[in-house]
Amino acid sequence: MFFQRLEDLRIDHDLTQQEVADILGCKREVYRRYEKGTRAIPVDFLIKLADHYHVSIDYIVGQDKGRQSGQK
């Protein structure tokens, strides 16, 4: 599944793919595949990213228009 917001959030926070991979504790190539949608991202990684970016998981996966939980 492809989540454009993974890349958008990373760029908005001036992070490289390697920096996000380090946050998640995975290799850059693995993270790149999450961003491009060629590999499913585990829920625990979505939770880490939501916490890091201060957004909801719903926002990351495109189910919520606002960046904060409850903001639509």
Structure tokens at 50: 């939501």
| H helices, E strands: number in the chain | 5, 0
pLDDT value of position 71:
46
DSSP 33: H
| Structural domain boundaries in the chain | 4-60
Q: Among the CATH numbers 3.20.20.190, 1.10.287.1040, 1.10.260.40, 1.10.40.30, which is that of 4-60?
A: 1.10.260.40
> What are the angstrom distances between the C-alpha of 38 and each of 52, 55, 69?
23, 23, 27
pTM of the model: 0.84
Give the pLDDT means over successive 10-residue stretches in the chain (72 positions). 86 98 98 94 96 94 67 44
d(CA 69, CA 40): 23
CA distance 28 to 26: 7
